[in-house]
Structure 1
Amino acid sequence: MLSAATAAALRAGSRRAVPRAGAATAAAAPRQLRRPNVALCRALSTTRPLASPPARDRTREIVAQTVSSIGSKREGQQYLKLFTSVSSQKFAVIKVGGAILTEYIDELCRSLLFLYELGLYPIIVHGAGPQLNRLLEEAGVEPQFEEGIRVTDAKTLGIARKLFIEENLRLVDRLDELGVQTRSLSGVFMADYLDKDKWQYVGKITKVNKQAIESSIEAGYIPVLTSMAESEDGRLLNVNADVAAAELARALEPLKVVYLSEKGGLFDGDGQKISHINLDEEFANLMSQPWCRYGTRLKIKEIKELLDTLPRTSSVAIIHPSDLQKELFTDSGAGTLIRRGDKIQKVTSVSEFGDVQKLKETLIRDREGLDAEATVDRWVDFLQENPFSAYYDEAMQCLAIVMPPGDGRAMATLATLTITKSGWLTNVAENVFNAIKKDYPSLVWTVSEADENLTWFFEKADGSFNNNGSVLFFYGCDLRSDALAPVYDEFISHGRAMLGDSNLECRLRRAAQAASQSLRRPQVAQQARGFSTTGRSMQRRGFATTTNPNPPLGKKNASNTVPTRVGLIGARGYTGQALINLLNSHPFMDLRHVSSRELAGQELEGYSKRKVIYENLGPEDVGKLEKNGEIDCWIMALPNGVCQPYIEALDEASKGRDKRSVIVDLSADYRFDSTWTYGLPELTKRSKIYQATRISNPGCYATAAQLGIAPILEHLGGQPTVFGVSGYSGAGTKPSPKNDINQLRDNLMPYSLTDHIHEREISSQLDTPVAFIPHVASWFRGIHHTINIPLNKTMTSRDIRQIYQDRYAGEKLVKVVGEAPLVRSIMDKHGVEIGGFAVHSSGKRVVVCASIDNLLKGAATQCLQNMNLALGYAEFEGIPTM
């Protein structure tokens, strides 16, 4: 059924973080699309199944791409609403080069099918330069260029005309095979001779016939154009495809102008992809860079000239064809996004605003309450008497006010941040924050922990604390220092009173009446779109807290001296011992209860913080401890199928309480339960784990396999096969042939060759079938996977390795290496090594290898990652990184 498949696709997961819709936005109904092919579009907001088999077949293709491209349901809805907010012919102009038609036509057509099924109709303009060069060479015609423009004589024009028709029909036919209705249009571009004496039959476009395009889209067809134009006397003229796309964009003024590129974007001097360019702020600086030369320099200049003639809402994207939907529908994007942007102004006094009334209207626009004007007046009066820095764009779509250190403030504080919806869509928020960071190397601000877009703030911060429903963010400082400790103390002491309200009225009233308070919550009407101007913006953030922000249940933690109390159920196994070692070195966790039926009454070894005696705790005992609020986090290290009575007892004991303890289950019992959060931080959204209280810890085999396959999902050409070999510690401590050293000596033992529970887990989480073949070997700890992955297109080893490096950039526990990693290199280490990347001679199959310590990142270390996130600590607190 479409509803289930689509829901799964949209659950899959900034450079561009779409804001949470405010009251007005949330109330507005999505624009009614006029096209017949909008099944998946409707599926974004309904569970209605498709009726006809052909539609279901197409939808399977769409959903498969959605899984690998759309980060969340929210992202898809927000971008779809944006793209359908304008007339259909103003959605996008896409320029397709000849090399794309030759090498990537399948990826291009699948991406266009995706848009078509969503009811979106881009205008396609294509060239055929490489093909033309080849044909001219075969015909014995020497290509000639003057000032970079091809000289087009009569013979060249005749060859070009025939070629363009063939390439156009090839693209149209391929789209028709997929069910995409298209129209091949001619006569759209009118032109004069550019300079007949110099370039002969080369045209300069003078007019664009929009009517033909608009009529095609109105009838439900995607227009497909060649870059050839006609003169007034009916003569065909050759026009560069980039030029044709630009002129078409000037005529239609679309939201997006997309240039498909084999490289997938523009790159800086270090070879890093430039994720975003804000021309108003960065153009002059870019032009002065030594690496900005030749083609890159010309491309940026041409795009600036184009955008200067388009509405400020328009943007240009340079991307790979396989990343088209990812660029359009996800926060992180895929290629290089170029906007005009807005210049950010800075003032340090109220008088510098010029129009004080406009300032007050900006502060009022998001507030609730009857005394809006009076409250804002008091805030402005306060600003007139105190130092501050304000950052805003000319239209005041975004306004941020920072209070410097002093007057009771230990450090600079972001006091106000208000942004309109259009401000988010044009990237003003990101530009304002960048301006603040240049002036203030350290900063503190707060946000509600219930905010659905906390991830953007985590990306901006070095660390955070959470308390009483609020999150204190900071960067550029260490709150453990004596000088800044008052910031944390005041947050803990007054967080609820100062920060518990979400409306502007309370915030401004507090600011006006208690000017000496050092922490004020930023006004966050919507969340920001995160961009990076120097490279790919990854969805990464570290919860770099330094003290425990969550007091034990039933107690008030007014200081930073009370650690999180942990209960470990099932401590006898190897994983339990590994967890005990990690908890012993964790600065903010205290192991209070350890349960093992076999070891009950004995003293726990290897734990130095306190004397702990093994207990035999049953479900009733655990329930009593939970009801009394004696444990903050439970770790279930029990065999599969044993955990349920304990969970039921904990759930029952926590009924009616304000908070319940965090549970991390290391068994497979809840890995397929949608009410639990699957805790693989490198692939699961960390903000989801941060808010979870029921976390299923992934299996060791499954962790390595998922990390080894996930980056290449969108390029799968068939079912991956995982050949896994584990040391015998993976078989546990209970005697069996799989952990019998004598039977394993000089041996490799296969087992559960089909339908292993990890096979189901890997396939379920990646949402694609994966074959898994496990084995056990004679070493004690460590797993090696050899993963055979069919590809849907020809790729090189270097391309694939780069995909993995990009995907795991910034991940402290994932290391991408060149050679196939060895088991001995991962033993006793807390991460995963991925390498090999051996591509078959056909280019359509790659073998990737992954190694992991099954007791650490495969179990205990990952458990501690999840605990840290859920309890509000730094994700890697107590974990030695790779």
Structure 2
Amino acid sequence: MQVLVRPVLRQAAAARRVPQSIRSFTYSRASNALVRQTQATKPPTKQHCQRRSYASSRYDDGSARSAVINVLNNIGSKREVQQYLAQFTSVSSQQFAVIKVGGAILTDYIDQLCASLRNLNQMGLFPVIIHGAGPQLNKLLEEAGIEPRYNEGIRITDGKTLGVARKLFLQENLKLVEALESWGVRARPITSGVLMADYKDKDTYEFVGEVKQVNTPSIKAAIADGYIPVLTCMAESDDGQVLNVNADKAAAELARALVPLKIVYLSEKGGITDKETGKLVEAINLDEEYDEYMKKPWVIHGTRSKIRDIKTLLDDLPRSSSVAIIHPESLERELFTHSGAGTLIRRGTKLQQASSLEELDAAGLAKLKQTLVRDREGLDSAGVVDRYLDTLKSRSFRAYFDENMEALAIVLPPTPGSTNQLAHLSTLTMTRSAWLSNIADNVFQQLKRDYPNLAWTVKQDDENLTWFSEMADGSIAKKGEVLFWYGIDKPEEVRQLMSEFVEHGRQMFGDVNLESQLHRAAAAAERIRAGAASIIAGRSQGGMQQQQARAFSTSTRQVSRQLNGPQQCRTYATTNPNPPLGIHNSEKDYPSRIALIGARGYTGKALIELLNNHPNMDLCYVSSRELAGQQLREYTKKPLTYSNLSPDDVRRMARDGEIDCWIMALPNGVCAPFVEAVEEGGKGEELIVDLSADYRFDSKWTYGLPELVQRSKIASAKRISNPGCYATAAQLGISPLLPHLAAAPAGPTVFGVSGYSGAGTKPSPKNDVNNLTDNLIPYSLTDHIHEREISNQLGREVAFIPHVAVWFAGIHHTISLPLATKMASRDVRNLYQDRYHSEPLISITGQSPLVKNISGKHGVEIGGFAVHSSGLRVVVNVTIDNLLKGAATQCLQNMNLGLGYAEFEGIPGVGA
């Protein structure tokens, strides 16, 4: 048992949600280690920086990148770090943050600023910096005997003041650039040509401007060349007049133009202070709290204007964007988490509430059920949800949810008259999109307003454990689960809570806990498996995370599927003398017997290698007319010789029940006699997987693309058509954007290039290396069979233009997609990340994937996400190994599903 308790005392200057638990201590150690690392290393001299090569001084130093990422893993939760690394390292969003640096920061905290920017830059991140110099300007004007003049808080800038300011801003810009260079960070001063402005009111303010346009090419060019751009808050009019502009407003206009994930205002004050309490305001969710803040008596003058301007800015940006007002020492933590040490302002999400099921209409109740069942393909999960809802009818609760129920929390208030006055968070379920858009933070802020004390449980390996720790005042771990709580400050209450958890575990939350009922359902199924050696991995806490279940014994596959769904079930070939009650024991007590028809080609060889390493598949026959009689050396489980099976041989073998699964790896148009032989001789229970195109348009066959076709459909099929390699990559690259595509006749265009292994082993100009060297060969430019396949499966006309190149294995697609409405690159990437986040064989990257990196890999890489300046066309890149995920690996996925094994069993690096 592990106890994690932290005090409840808060100091007035305490950081926003800074955890004081053991996790907080880990953060403190990590951040302090980083500070010591940066401070202990003497900043290199300018001359040294000039001598160093670009490659050795920047983020492509793998060790430096790893070190920073390790620190970040201690700063924030795994979810937050992965979120921001995915966002920030994309080519289309290198300007991941706009940082406004106040003049006081340049005077008092420049080393801290440079250290943070160096660490970011080592990771390949390029914030756009814009700075002011207000305090310095005041000092210079005083020394020059110039009396500062203001109107409504805005500095009146006459010619003399402008001359002093212009010179000062250039000096401060150079000062920051040279300081960054001394820390080994390449920085580029950009002091003109970016901010275009009109006079604010020439008669009143003289040379003061309001930014009307931001020219970004010089910023993007600096980033492309590997420099952090450093701007000063001086603008120009159309006739070339230099104008003084407010740094905060200039930063806002930069943000509108660049659309960063975060806008950061560095301030020595560290955030907005609540004048009534004297504490920093942790967070402001504008959708829910803007009107409330505008009515507060202390929100006046500059504070009122700042909040109003930030709302106007965020209304123009994606909902994922946010503004942080922080101290420079908290810069890294703020950029990579939502729990920095200042004031975080975001649009947020308006939450709805319900205290009874009657408050929901029929559609709302249906959505609630759907949300509770979400991600649960378990035994009678719908029935468990119904019983859970029936229980809620008889007791008080409060549910919190957003409009689409991407987030749902159900709290059980204390029972009246009970000695335990602690509310329990019974269920918390979030989609990945809800996590990344920070709805979870909104939910907990509301919970803290409504419930002064609360407890909940979390699996100890939950990837969001850090986040939950930040929400809590203390925690206790026992047997893989962690109990969190907040609002308990009396030692005897803490001891009582801990004692109850140690003694009763999850049962202390009562029978209304949905997850407890799911546990009991699984336990009941276990008892049905009399004598079966099996383990069911418990599902996670409160609807928060689903774990993979494992079933041991091939004769329990059917029960395993009912419990966990085919993709969660893993089975092993062990003898089960006691078949489960009510289940017909038609399964075999030995590995599935496989016959491979057509083993000479590259795909056949790749599949043989996979089967050789599969624990539950026994390759019994390999048929090849040209290799008949030769020993199959690639298969090491037992001696095996190539045979030359005829349709009559196949018919006899099927009649005798010798084979559980037939794999047709034959050229297009020649496998029909063998399929007919299996169907004529067999009993209809044999699985057939066809790798050719012969049955991809046959409605009697199931199309086997598990990432896009319902897995339960594949698992119940006996005839599976394996998709084509080009078609797999194209469909995965197009599918997330299908609902957003422009109407016909406009449609996606796929420019595909394959290595010459795709042309097969039969000699031809398309696999002649000499012919391919220094060459790119187009072929079948219209009406290719894959063009028809892609269009048929997606329900949209897709143009496909194939080519073959000199490399051996691997396909690269460049896909152009017309959009119905404007989208930003980050929005597109989020669609793909949300669609495929739970798919272990699909990787999403902001950069364009390279074909040389996919050869020999079992997955698919999707990236690029370049958006045309109109916002109405997206270009996506996809890479796939045509022999593996494009053929053999996908075939094994379909075999696993059809035979009742875990989908990824036998796939290197994926199967558990």
Normalised TM-score (structure 1): 0.47
Find the structure with the greater CA-based Rg: 2
Q: What TM-score do you get using the length of structure 2 for normalisation?
A: 0.46
